[in-house]
Amino acid sequence: MIVRGQLMDVPDSPFTGGGLRTTEALLVRDGTIAARGTYEDLRRDNPSEERLDLTEGLVLPGFVDTHVHYPQVRMIGALGMPLLDWLEHSALPEEARLADAGYARGVADDFLRGLIASGTTTALVFGAHFSSAVDALFGAAEQRGLRVTAGLVVSDRILRDDLLTTPDRAYAEGRALADRWHGRGRLRYAVTPRFSLSCSDPLLAACGALHGDVPGSWFTSHINENRAEIAAVIELFPDSADYLATYARHGLVGERSVFAHNLHASAAELALLAEHGSAVAHCPTSNSALGSGLFPLREHMAAGVRVALGSDVGAGTGFSLLKEGLQAYFMQQLLGEAGLPLTSAHLLYLATASGAAALGMAGPTADHWVGEFSVGSQFDAVWLSPATGSTLDCGLRNADSADQALAKAFALGTDADIAAVWVGGERVAVA
């Protein structure tokens, strides 16, 4: 298939000299990009190849969401509370409903439809506290063809009783889920303690054991989101130097670790994250909605910590990584001199290639190389094609450069502008 359009990607970090790259056409074979170039050249060299015309609008790599909660899709928009009140009154009552496998299947459908409709093709998903609900997520993701890394969420204190487990049960259920789903097609397992606040040391030790026993598994959790949360964690772990140490002592800080938020990180924590190659999922609408804080992006970059975007649905206000990118930009502007001014290329990088790198899905040696339009990578793509006469349509037609057109997509783009989505060269259905 020859894909023709205004194709844009950011394969190399603009924080270290990379920038926006454009091309007119791609040759896609068996889901993989086989060549890039002008439409004329690719057509001449492959005369019998099927053609796909996407010349109206923009074509971007499929978005990579590095932090999103599947059980929370139905409670997006619970505004007006800080983190711990929001969890108790809004998020956790809904999460408890996923004990019912039938209810969980419905939620899984709503969740995956939401991801696809927003152009997200790869996600690191916070699962549910119930094994049957995690099965429902993996099964539905496999059916739809999305790239999903997820796992059983575990906690053994502080949360409501029906969400609690024990270290032995957490290991056994996680192990069984990983045996069923890890490495199956586009699916992978992620060991997922909710956060140290709700996990005892023995439970985190069980998570460390499971992560070690499932080769290639991922690890994800929350960190340094809210000052009250951080103070409570420090009180519960008096012999840990900081929040990150509660995970590090169990071997949970490594190259396959993604920590959400990290708004109030110490210099020592940033240095340790960088040293171990762990990534941080920055979730700007969630941080804004819960009043958690302004993300210290400059400090993360200075320390050499990898950062990607997460929607953090349902504290985040939707699945769109265009909206998260714009909110990330707003946050850095509001930080004034402490902020890092972001271009549209930075935003696309954070929403695509950086997320792929955080999930080990970047470069020719990855099992599934996504997040960019390089030869050898998967054709995961989103086609933004705004309605004629819409403000985004007007903006794209009057943009002077590719960077400007992309900035308009972040400023104005919504789900309504997403005309089609592909994963591995196959178009995925939204319905």
Can you give the binding site for Zn ion, defined by CB under 5 A? 260, 312
- By beta-carbon proximity to Zn ion, the closer residue of 11 and 316 is 316
Q: Nearest-CB residue to Zn ion?
A: 312
d(CA 298, CA 304): 10
Nearer to Zn ion, 355 or 395 (CB): 355
Q: Which is nearer to Zn ion, 269 or 312 (CB)?
A: 312
Instruction: Please identify, using beta-carbon distances, which residue of 312 and 380 lies nearer to Zn ion.
Output: 312
Q: Which residues contact 343 (CB under 8 A, 6 or more apart)?
A: 14, 403, 407
Residue nearer to Zn ion on the CB measure, 42 or 313: 313
Beta carbon of residue 69, minimum distance to Zn ion (angstroms, whole number):
6
- Report, in Å, the least distance between residue 192 CB and Zn ion: 10
* Minimum CB distance to Zn ion, residue 393 (Å): 34
> For residues 192 and 378, which CB has a smaller minimum distance to Zn ion in the complex?
192
Closest distance to Zn ion from the beta carbon of 275 (Å):
24
Of the pair 212, 291, the CB lying nearest Zn ion is at 291
For Zn ion, the closer of residues 69 and 346 by Cβ is 69
In angstroms, give the least distance from the CB of 293 to Zn ion.
14
Query: Minimum CB separation from Zn ion for residue 72, in Å?
Result: 8
CB of 59 to Zn ion, least distance (A): 30
Least distance from C-beta 203 to Zn ion, angstroms?
18
Spell out the SS3 assignment of the chain.
CEEEEEEEECCCCHHHCCCCEEEEEEEEECCEEEEEECHHHHHHHCCCCCEEEEEEEEEEECEEEEEEEHHHHHHCCCCCCCHHHHHHHHHHHHHHHHHCHHHHHHHHHHHHHHHHHCCEEEEEEECCCCHHHHHHHHHHHHHHCCEEEEECEECCCCCCHHHCCCHHHHHHHHHHHHHHHCCCCCEEEEEEECCHHHCCHHHHHHHHHHHHHCCCCEEEEEECCCHHHHHHHHHHCCCCCCHHHHHHCCCCCCCCEEEEECCCCCHHHHHHHHHHCCEEEECHHHHHHCCCCCCCHHHHHHHCCEEEECCCCCCCCCCCHHHHHHHHHHHHHHCHHHCCCCCHHHHHHHHCHHHHHHCCCCCCCCCCCCCCCCCCCECCEEEECCCCCCHHHHHHHCCCCHHHHHHHHHHHCCHHHEEEEEECCEECCCC
Q: How far is the CB of 205 from Zn ion (least distance, A)?
A: 23
Q: Which CB atom, from 194 or from 408, has the smaller least distance to Zn ion? A: 194
